[in-house]
């Protein structure tokens, strides 16, 4: 029974001798804290663009080395996690590629995947492998001051290989996110973008538009707001610059999702205008059926 040839195939290693995390905001800093707490790296290297952030990083127990250059930060790392906003990911990958170790793995946390995965793959291949990821662990808050060691625990995480991504690379990246506490699902980037257009980007658009509509009606009414409006619109507090770029990169799928919702809203409006309360109740009941089965 001790004959190694009879063991089940080894699970991909989630631990790395050296991890480089680029742009430690809410996600990147939480990732560093979680990786340290779970012992996933012997050494954690960070790169931050702003000098004042680098200064703060030097005092953090979850940061072993700080670099002023992203290319320097990735040297010797077996895993690089790019935590920059979606429009900065590919430029950063381009910047670090000459310094990547052979067969290094590069992953990211971007909310849109098709464009990033295709371009980043072209940049790093054949030297290294890019396997995109998207942990559903964001917040309307940003910045490393909100970082939490448990941010990824029990959160869904997409891992989005291309057709030609080596299985071993996909397995290692999936193992890393799993080791951080995520529930990993592997889907292709286009499918990812369709799903999140509906379950994440459309809700964001609706929250923003509800708020922009209320702003033009009577901003003072906000003083009467109950918990319902507060929860429904929380994500509208997100950074407009980040979201503008998400809407640009996932343009086609979000447009499709918005149009699908417009049809739903038009059907509801017609039912309400016709005093068809059987139909009105049907929308409410279907909504509750979906909501009641959402994970807590």
> Rule CB under 8 A: which of 191-250 touch a copy of itself?
195-196, 198-200, 202-219, 221-238, 240-241, 243-244, 247-248
The nearer residue to a copy of itself, 130 or 152, going by C-beta atoms, is: 152
Q: By CB under 8 A, name the one of 3, 52, 167, 292 that touches a copy of itself.
A: 292
**What is the Cα–Cα distance from 210 to 232, expressed in whole angstroms?**
9
Which residues in 17-76 contact a copy of itself (CB under 8 A)?
none
Taking the complex as a whole, the smallest distance from the CB of residue 245 to a copy of itself amounts, in Å, to: 9
Stretch of 25-33, 79-87, 96-104, 268-276 contacting a copy of itself, by CB under 8 A: 268-276
Helical packing angle, 114-124 and 189-196, nearest 10°? 150
In terms of Cβ atoms closer than 10 Å to its own Cβ (0-12, 13-18, 19+), residue 244 is exposed
Which residues in 82-141 contact a copy of itself (CB under 8 A)?
136-139
3-state class of 122 per DSSP?
A: helix
The nearer residue to a copy of itself, 41 or 196, going by C-beta atoms, is: 196
Taking the complex as a whole, the smallest distance from the CB of residue 289 to a copy of itself amounts, in Å, to: 6
3-state class of 244 per DSSP?
A: helix
Q: Give the HSE-up count for residue 286: Cα atoms under 13 Å, Cβ half-sphere.
A: 8
The nearer residue to a copy of itself, 74 or 202, going by C-beta atoms, is: 202
Taking the complex as a whole, the smallest distance from the CB of residue 196 to a copy of itself amounts, in Å, to: 8
Joined tokens for residue 295: 């994970």
Taking the complex as a whole, the smallest distance from the CB of residue 293 to a copy of itself amounts, in Å, to: 6
Residues belonging to the chain: 296
CB 107 within 8 A of CB 176: yes
163 binds a copy of itself (CB under 8 A): no
The nearer residue to a copy of itself, 15 or 139, going by C-beta atoms, is: 139
The nearer residue to a copy of itself, 123 or 197, going by C-beta atoms, is: 197
276 binds a copy of itself (CB under 8 A): no
Nearest to 177 by CA among 212, 133, 143: 133
Strands in the chain per DSSP E:
16-22, 41-47, 65-67, 79-82, 105-108, 129-130, 132-135, 156-160, 183-186
Q: Say how many residues touch a copy of itself, by CB under 8 A.
A: 87
């Amino acid at each position: 029974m001790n004959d190694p040839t009879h063991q089940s195939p080894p699970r991909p290693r989630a631990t790395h001798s050296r991890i480089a995390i680029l742009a430690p905001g809410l996600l990147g800093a939480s990732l560093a804290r979680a990786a340290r707490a779970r012992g996933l790296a012997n050494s954690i290297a960070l790169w931050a663009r702003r000098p004042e952030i680098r200064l703060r990083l030097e005092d953090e127990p979850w940061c072993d080395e700080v670099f002023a250059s992203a290319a320097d930060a990735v040297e010797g790392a077996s895993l690089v996690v790019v935590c920059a906003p979606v429009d900065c990911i590919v430029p950063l990958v381009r910047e670090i590629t000459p310094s990547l170790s052979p067969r290094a793995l590069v992953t990211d946390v971007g909310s849109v995947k098709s464009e990033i995965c295709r371009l980043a793959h072209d940049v790093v291949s054949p030297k290294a492998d890019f396997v995109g990821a998207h942990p559903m662990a964001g917040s309307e808050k940003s910045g490393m001051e909100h970082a939490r060691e448990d941010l990824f625990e029990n959160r869904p995480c997409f891992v989005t290989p291309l057709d030609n991504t080596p299985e071993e690379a996909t397995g290692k990246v999936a193992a890393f996110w799993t080791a951080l506490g995520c529930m990993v699902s592997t889907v292709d980037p286009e499918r990812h973008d369709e799903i999140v257009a509906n379950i994440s980007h459309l809700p964001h658009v609706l929250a923003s538009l509800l708020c922009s509509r209320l702003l033009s009606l009577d901003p003072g009414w906000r003083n009467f707001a109950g918990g319902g409006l507060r929860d429904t619109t929380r994500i509208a507090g997100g950074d407009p610059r980040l979201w503008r770029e998400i809407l640009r990169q996932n343009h086609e799928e979000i447009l499709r999702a918005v149009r699908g919702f417009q049809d739903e809203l038009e059907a509801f409006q017609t039912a309400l205008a016709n005093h068809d309360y059987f139909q009105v109740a049907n929308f409410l009941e279907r909504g509750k059926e979906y909501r009641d089965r959402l994970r807590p």
